[in-house]
Amino acid sequence: MPPRHRPPEALLAALTTGRSRSERLTHTEHLPARPARHSSWPDSIRPEIVASAQALGVERPWAHQAEAMKLAKTGQTMVLATGTASGKSLGYLAPVLSDLLDGTEAPNGRGATALYLAPTKALAADQRRRAAELVPSRVRPALYDGDTPPEEREWVRQYASYVLTNPDMLHRGILPAHARWSSFLKALKYVVVDECHSYRGVFGSHVAQVVRRLRRLCARYGSEPVFLLASATTADPATTAERLTGLPAVAVTEDASPRGPLVFALWEPPLTENVGEHGAPVRRTATAEAGYLLTDLVEAGTRTVVFVRSRRAAELVALQAQDQLGAPLAARVAAYRGGYLAEERRSLERALYSGRLLGLASTSALELGVDVSGLDAVLMAGYPGTRASLWQQAGRAGREGQGALAVLIARDDPLDTYLVHHPEALFANPVEATVLDPDNPHILAPHLCAAAAELPLGESDLHLFGPSTAQLLPVLEKRGLLRRRGGNSWYWTRRERAADAVDLRGSGGNPVQIVESSTGRLLGTVDASAAHTTVHTGAVHLHQGRTYLVQDLDLETSVALVEQADPSYTTAARDITSISVLGTDTTIDWGEARLCFGSVEVVNQVVGYLRKRIATGEVLGETKLDLPPRTLRTRAVWWTVTEDQLLDAEIPFDQLPGAAHAAEHASIGLLPLFATCDRWDIGGVSVPLHPDTQLPTVFVYDGHSGGAGFAERGFQRAEQWLTATRDAIAACECDRGCPSCVQSPKCGNGNDPLDKAAAVRLLDVLLADAPGRAAQAGDG
């Protein structure tokens, strides 16, 4: 029986009726429908491609697709940044496949080649299928990743015209072996970078340098490929594309695809009788609330996807709904877990589309590249981290023009709480810009070594790799990694492969291997910088939907031994941190207050961990640890206030530590609203009297060597960021501070001391003379 489609307003009314749920709805936004705008097929697209697209139901392209096709065919670096289900794939595939078809007429049948980069292997596999649907078989698309058998790899190198891979494989497998890829690189006409908004922070900065190495080798073989990028809607996508590729780019952003009306609800779970640290009130978890709402929607015959942040949470939401529904409806709810084969994914998608499956609890795997349409509702258990991801997930509903419901369910943390009470932060602001810093010397240096190993570096390469290159080469030479010859050429000196020293998804240092003690099986790795807090002895570690307990962390061998378990608790590391200023790049005076950005050294030591009950967040106990301190040189934003300002704010010295600590926690929680980062990517320190500034100081720093651009974005948006921080604390309904405002899940001091009321007064006096406030006072 096909599912019933009900107007989204009726669905929301049913969810809020009875059971004291109406007060949980904090805001409802109504987004109108958008009609389609079509365009003609550009003359430059081959008729075979047009015919294949029409056979698949695309009679004419939407206007943004046609614009992207025309730009690509003129050789312009282009980024297509439109909404979910707006047909971005066709926008770049049509010109790429047209040129590859032209290339089949060359004597060797491969007069043109193209390279496709995706952040995940699953997305590359989906794209290979789409390409095969559009183009005759004489164009040969092929996957080249870690799963490609050795015998197939040689065929791909010699014969494939469209190679679909990921940045990791390009970095480790293709660029170091470029001589074997010479015929492919010589004919390289296009490079497609899909889902480019996911290349942010340290990972994005690494990928930007991999792209520069690719461009350098292409020039060596006489090609100059056109870069085509696809992105979710982000702020300033052209700048993101330029940072990733090093080339000037044009953005196509006006979405001409049709969209049904969307009702977007913000939802805050109720307070429970449980208490957390220092007796703070605790809300029902977002995953538990999502399970209840999913149950109601499935009972109403509504096709629904729930997005959660972990595979374990996906399982829990599905199980909760199944238990509450009972037979026969329980069979119509499933979890979308990691490790599915493409056929299994297609089966789930077909079941959801046809209505055999009504409810699906999924991680963000459904957010990227998986084609699910015809949904009536999307529930999001927690803010997904960026507005770009939020709209990607919400866009999964209503994709056939019918009305749809999206519900953001707040987790018990400052950012989620702020958003559900400040809807303008979601609906009146553009999505954030993607933050990356390819010039970070800690990232650039190993890529210069890898580039020198591929082809000796010369003076002409200095501009390509960025402004820090000239200063770094002598440093690498002094360390014996590069040797200078003939005055202006640098060579790699070691026997080992330079590319193996770079972990694209980490930040340097030997990654810690996670090994199952009973079998010796390698489960995965954790960045060295994160190992002390995530895989310390006693830590609960999640891997592919399974839970493990860390039995021992051996720092000498960089191995964490784990055993599968099912504890009723999670763990949170406790640490102590000190910070010193190495150099100040920029200073801005806000009256007596001062805002700074520069380089710092952070010394951090994990001293223990808390055990917290999964369902409630209740603290069950604390265990001490003996781990060595770690030193991090990074970038930070910090602010100071004077003694006179503290007097104005009525903050006596005994209240200052709690006020600064609470303001620090809340500002870390709110920074992801202004920079594409997670709160776990950044850290903070608050000091009542810092030795370097001689003033009360709050620091927020990047948790990666050399910085990742997050603190810099905080400095650039400081007034908006710190105003949002102040408002988030003031609006929280708790008395003395809770996880929704000033308590942090990763606080090294056990969330003590914290003074919520004094933090608001401290931020008021800090912001009193900020430029925007001063202008408002002048207007008055």
Residue 477: band (very low, low, confident or very high) from pLDDT cuts 50, 70, 90? very high
Please determine, for residue 283, whether its predicted confidence score (pLDDT) is greater than 80: yes
Q: How far apart are the first and last CA of the chain?
A: 63
Quick one: CA torsion of 714, 720, 724, 727, rounded to 10 degrees? 140
Taking residues 138-150, what's their average pLDDT? 92
CB of 551 within 8 A of CB of 537? yes
Lay out the sheet containing 141-143: strands in order across: 141-143, 162-165, 113-117, 188-193, 226-231, 78-81, 250-252
Taking residues 461-468, what's their average pLDDT? 92
Lowest-pLDDT range, 13-22, 78-87, 292-301, 728-737?
13-22
Give residue 509's pLDDT: 62
Residue 1: band (very low, low, confident or very high) from pLDDT cuts 50, 70, 90? very low
Angle at CA of residue 192, ends 232 and 391, nearest 5°: 10
If you search the block for the tokens 């603290």, which residue do you land on?
A: 619
Helix (H) or strand (E) holding 328: none
Please determine, for residue 508, whether its predicted confidence score (pLDDT) is greater than 60: no
Angle at CA of residue 111, ends 107 and 112, nearest 5°: 165
Q: Phi and psi at residue 372, in whole multiples of 5°?
A: -120, 125
Q: Sign of the C-alpha dihedral, residues 426, 18, 308, 285?
A: positive
Instruction: For 189-248, write each residue's pLDDT tens digit.
Output: 999 999 898 888 888 999 999 999 999 999 999 999 999 999 887 778 999 999 999 999
Give residue 396's pLDDT: 80
Among 531, 753, 780, smallest CA distance to 663 is for: 753
Mean pLDDT estimate for the chain: 89
CB of 169 within 8 A of CB of 92? no
Residue 615: band (very low, low, confident or very high) from pLDDT cuts 50, 70, 90? low
Helix, strand, or coil here: 14? Answer: helix
Give residue 384's pLDDT: 85
Helix (H) or strand (E) holding 192: strand 188-193
Give residue 218's pLDDT: 98
Residue 413: band (very low, low, confident or very high) from pLDDT cuts 50, 70, 90? confident
Lowest-pLDDT range, 67-71, 345-349, 755-759?
345-349
Taking residues 53-69, what's their average pLDDT? 97
Please determine, for residue 780, whether its predicted confidence score (pLDDT) is greater than 50: no
Angle at CA of residue 773, ends 769 and 775, nearest 5°: 105
**Residue 585: how many CB atoms within 10 A of its CB?**
11
Among 150, 101, 144, smallest CA distance to 125 is for: 144
Give residue 732's pLDDT: 84
Please determine, for residue 440, whether its predicted confidence score (pLDDT) is greater than 90: no
The one-letter amino acid at 505: R
Return d(Cα 216, Cα 212) in angstroms, integer: 6
Taking residues 510-531, what's their average pLDDT? 85
Check residues 480 and 505 and name the one with the higher pLDDT: 480
Give residue 234's pLDDT: 77
Lowest-pLDDT range, 197-206, 216-225, 432-441, 583-592?
432-441
Taking residues 561-567, what's their average pLDDT? 93
Residue 316: band (very low, low, confident or very high) from pLDDT cuts 50, 70, 90? confident
Please determine, for residue 685, whether its predicted confidence score (pLDDT) is greater than 90: yes
Taking residues 174-203, what's their average pLDDT? 94
Instruction: For 96-128, write each residue's pLDDT tens digit.
Output: 999 999 999 998 889 999 999 998 877 888 899
Please determine, for residue 369, whether its predicted confidence score (pLDDT) is greater than 50: no
Please determine, for residue 368, whether its predicted confidence score (pLDDT) is greater than 80: no
Give residue 442's pLDDT: 83
Residue 529: band (very low, low, confident or very high) from pLDDT cuts 50, 70, 90? confident
Residue 505: band (very low, low, confident or very high) from pLDDT cuts 50, 70, 90? confident
Taking residues 488-493, what's their average pLDDT? 94
